[in-house]
């Protein structure tokens, strides 16, 4: 099949990995992420990549440049290329579960990081 079909809500809620690439196309990539209690992505900036994030479970906040916005189930974040951003799980007990679309793709196809530390140097 040329393309990808899944139940994204189920996949996101069942995901235990920090980062799991589900689909990589020529111009777009679908990635699941789970931030553990108190965990954050870390302040970053993507040059040449737009990003869309949807929260499926948990609470936290998004920092876009210098503006902070609270996040909960159903929240979305649209991050244009060049915007400094961070996603933070503010819960002490519950994971923050989300999926994200990168355009164009950001990570190698098939990437799985069980923990945030798996992606470091």
Residue 1 lies in a domain: no
pLDDT of residue 1: 59
Provide the pLDDT for residue 18: 97
The answer to whether residue 28 sits within a structural domain is yes
> In the chain, how many domains are there?
1
118 is a domain residue: no
* Nearest-angstrom CA–CA distance, 62 and 69: 5
Q: What is the CATH number of the domain that holds 35?
A: 2.60.120.10
**pLDDT of the residue at 2:** 83
Q: What's the domain range around 53?
A: 8-113
With respect to residue 121, please indicate whether it lies within any of the assigned structural domains. no
Residue 119 lies in a domain: no
Written as six digits, the tokens of 94 are 């519950």
Does residue 76 form part of some domain? yes
pLDDT per residue of the chain (121 residues) written in tens, 0 to 9: 588 999 999 999 999 999 999 999 999 999 999 999 999 999 999 999 999 999 999 999 999 999 999 999 999 999 999 999 999 999 999 999 999 999 999 998 999 999 988 875 3
Q: Please give the full DSSP string across 47-73, using - where no structure is assigned.
A: TT-EEEEEEEE--EEEEETTEEEEE-T
Strand order in the sheet with 84-89: 44-45, 84-89, 60-64, 67-71
Is residue 3 domain-resident? no
Is 120 domain-assigned? no
Is this prediction's pTM over 0.85? yes
């Amino acid at each position: 099949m040329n393309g990808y079909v899944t139940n994204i809500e189920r996949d996101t809620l069942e995901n235990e990995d920090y980062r799991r690439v589900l689909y990589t196309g020529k111009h777009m990539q679908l990635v699941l992420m789970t931030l553990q209690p108190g965990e954050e992505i870390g302040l970053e900036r993507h040059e040449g990549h737009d990003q869309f994030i949807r929260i499926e479970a948990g609470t936290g906040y998004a920092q876009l440049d210098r503006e902070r916005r609270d996040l909960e189930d159903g929240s979305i974040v649209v991050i244009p290329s060049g915007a400094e951003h961070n996603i933070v799980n503010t819960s002490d007990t519950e994971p923050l579960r989300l999926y994200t679309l990168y355009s164009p793709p950001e990570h190698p196809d098939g990437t799985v990081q069980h923990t945030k530390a798996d992606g470091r140097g």
